[in-house]
Amino acid sequence: MTAKSKSAQKVKSQKAQSHKVQPELKYQYDVIVIGTGPGGEGAAMNLTKAGKKVAVIEKHKEVGGGCTHWGTIPSKALRHSVSRLIEYNSNPLFNSPEKAESLTFDSILKHTTKVINDQVKLRGGFYNRNDVDIYHGAASFVDAHTLNVVLLDGSAEQLTAEKFVIASGSRPYRPVDVDFTHSRVYDSDTILSLKHEPKSIIIYGAGVIGCEYASIFRGLGCKVDLINGRDRLLSFMDAEMTDSLSYHFWNSGIVIRHNEEYDKIEGTEDGVVMTLKSGKRMKADCLLFANGRTGNTDALNLESVNLKANSRGSLAVDSTYKTSAENIYAVGDVIGYPSLASAAYDQGRIAADYMLGLTTERKLIEDIPTGIYTIPEMSSVGKTEQQLTAAKIPYEVGRASFKHLARAQIGGSPIGSLKILFRCDTKEILGIHCFGERSAEIVHIGQAIMQQKGEANTIEYFVNTTFNYPTMAEAYRVAALNGLNRLF
């Protein structure tokens, strides 16, 4: 922490303490928010702009939460660097003998660190400009209106508020039989401290985090074994898209082992040996354990406010994000699904609206877009083919292959496709699914049309609209024509 930030924190602390000596106030704050990730930030900003006196508690020395420091931002920054390396090495324009065939994990972390620092500076400015007091320390409830905060310097302070928002986030799940103190065993937080250069890695867990890191390490030239406890990758996504990802993984050299569970994990001096319940044994330079996450609720002393988290540390909330405690709300990863940074921010803002009495019915949009930052990306919004078939909804499919788009050919990114699902009778758009570079951006064009009402939400919009040429967005026109040509 710089001298400037320390000074700013001291001023904040003095300002915060001054509130305790104001006898006219029943509580020091209207609302205290625990956590400064997307959910906590969304709630705090909405509340303070409405004139409420707000404080936030952040257990780390900088704001931003897990999203900024260990999760979304670092992994996506790493992914971007590796993706550009792959693009550079595969582009025929760059055939120089001095080609940078590889980068070290440590070297690409430098770019990641800069992005994190920029995000911290930006987000910290939000709190300062809006007069939100920041306490850096670990919070736990004393009673329904009191928090005990153990500050980073070891001192403790009690804060009171009328209401609270728990936005404490989540952390990687760590089973007790895995030795995470071993120098070659990592989770998705500690992998960012990797110093040695692994030639091989076992990734246990083929969810979003596991698949993203499989792409990153394979792009760095590592031998990757990806262990999946299910029979297919990312089964919540459209099967055609996940099949494309599976093929691309296989084609790049990633070994995927489906329907497997570990029996024993042994750390050695130079690596890790994993024994699977099927009897298979494998060895690698290191292990990334990425099999689920746990809500950060165990240190909050929830018993003192009659709250109880489930086995994965998650809290139950109603449609207004209120817990069973009348004055305590919860948002973000700590309430479980959908566990997306984008959704957490909206949850925080919506919860604030309920706390302010500004709404009686606001909720998250029904079709929340999903972006998975593998190499190439995957993204989707709306229903999958499997869901529509199970619901017996008659639909048709329009497809566009990126290799036929001029912009993809120019950019040297021909891998991927766009798929539009729509009703046969009304032509209403039911789902958008995309695999390939910039998928998480491309999907938003379809999402915008899906959110329209009535005749504005039909696949014909893409036929009747003129797109810039050449662009990746043109894939919508190509896919729409392809789908409409299937109707009879």
Please tell me whether 6 is known to bind a ligand. Answer: no
Please tell me whether 59 is known to bind a ligand. Answer: yes
Please give the pLDDT value at position 96.
Answer: 60
Please tell me whether 333 is known to bind a ligand. Answer: yes
Tell me the whole-structure pTM to 2 decimals.
Answer: 0.90
Please tell me whether 385 is known to bind a ligand. Answer: no
Please give the pLDDT value at position 106.
Answer: 77
Contact at 8 Å (CB) between 55 and 149? no
**φ, ψ dihedrals at 442, nearest 5°:** -60, -35
Predicted confidence (pLDDT) per residue in 417-438, tens digit: 999 999 999 999 999 999 999 9
CA distances from 4 to 9, 197, 310, 468 (A): 9, 36, 41, 47
Please tell me whether 26 is known to bind a ligand. Answer: no
Please tell me whether 210 is known to bind a ligand. Answer: yes
Please give the pLDDT value at position 87.
Answer: 81
pLDDT exceeds cutoff 90 at 462? yes
CA distances from 338 to 38, 119, 239, 370, 390 (A): 13, 23, 19, 9, 22
Please tell me whether 60 is known to bind a ligand. Answer: yes
Please give the pLDDT value at position 488.
Answer: 87
Please tell me whether 286 is known to bind a ligand. Answer: no
Please give the pLDDT value at position 359.
Answer: 86
C-alpha angle 83-88-93 in degrees, rounded to nearest 5: 150
Q: How far apart are CA 420 and CA 479, in angstroms?
A: 7
Secondary element (H or E) of residue 377: none
Give residue 378's pLDDT band: very low, low, confident or very high (50, 70, 90).
Answer: very high
Predicted confidence (pLDDT) per residue in 19-76, tens digit: 444 445 799 999 999 999 999 999 999 999 999 999 999 999 999 998 888 888 989 9
Predicted confidence (pLDDT) per residue in 304-327, tens digit: 999 999 999 999 999 999 999 999
Domains delineated in the chain: 3-68+108-171+294-356 (3.50.50.60), 185-291 (3.50.50.60), 376-484 (3.30.390.30)
Please tell me whether 305 is known to bind a ligand. Answer: no
Contact at 8 Å (CB) between 256 and 224? no
Q: How far apart are CA 308 and CA 302, in angstroms?
A: 6
Mean pLDDT (the chain) is 91
Of 81-85, 382-386, 465-469, minimum mean pLDDT range: 81-85
Please tell me whether 63 is known to bind a ligand. Answer: yes
Please give the pLDDT value at position 431.
Answer: 97
Please tell me whether 65 is known to bind a ligand. Answer: yes
pLDDT exceeds cutoff 50 at 127? yes
Please tell me whether 211 is known to bind a ligand. Answer: yes
DSSP string, 301-370: -GGGGT----TTSPPP--TTSB-SSTTEEE-GGGG-TT--HHHHHHHHHHHHHHHHT--SS----SS--E
Please tell me whether 62 is known to bind a ligand. Answer: yes
Please give the pLDDT value at position 454.
Answer: 81
Please give the pLDDT value at position 21.
Answer: 43
CA nearest to 182, candidates 265, 252, 254: 265
CA nearest to 83, candidates 375, 372, 371: 375
Please give the pLDDT value at position 98.
Answer: 58
CA distances from 56 to 64, 168, 300, 369 (A): 11, 11, 15, 29
Please give the pLDDT value at position 104.
Answer: 75
Predicted confidence (pLDDT) per residue in 73-125, tens digit: 989 998 988 988 888 777 766 666 555 556 777 778 888 888 999 999 999 99
Q: How far apart are CA 107 and CA 87, in angstroms?
A: 18
Q: Which amino acid is at 101?
A: E
Predicted confidence (pLDDT) per residue in 279-303, tens digit: 999 999 999 999 999 999 999 999 9
Cβ count within 10 A of residue 71: 23
Please give the pLDDT value at position 99.
Answer: 54
Please tell me whether 197 is known to bind a ligand. Answer: no
Please tell me whether 433 is known to bind a ligand. Answer: no
Predicted confidence (pLDDT) per residue in 228-264, tens digit: 999 999 999 999 999 999 999 999 999 999 999 999 9
Please tell me whether 206 is known to bind a ligand. Answer: yes
Q: Which amino acid is at 204?
A: Y
Q: How far apart are CA 314 and CA 323, in angstroms?
A: 11
pLDDT exceeds cutoff 60 at 15? no
Contact at 8 Å (CB) between 40 and 330? no
Q: Compute the average pLDDT of residues 129-143.
A: 96
Share of the chain above pLDDT 70, in %: 93
Please tell me whether 67 is known to bind a ligand. Answer: yes
Give residue 2's pLDDT band: very low, low, confident or very high (50, 70, 90).
Answer: very low
Give residue 360's pLDDT band: very low, low, confident or very high (50, 70, 90).
Answer: confident
Q: Is pLDDT larger for residue 193 or for residue 58?
A: 58
Q: Which residue matches tokens 């990734």?
A: 203
Of 70-74, 188-192, 342-346, minimum mean pLDDT range: 70-74
Please give the pLDDT value at position 102.
Answer: 62
Q: Name 208's Cβ contacts closer than 8 Å, sequence gap at least 6.
A: 234, 372
Q: How far apart are CA 224 and CA 213, in angstroms?
A: 10
Predicted confidence (pLDDT) per residue in 159-184, tens digit: 999 999 999 999 999 999 999 999 99
Share of the chain above pLDDT 90, in %: 80
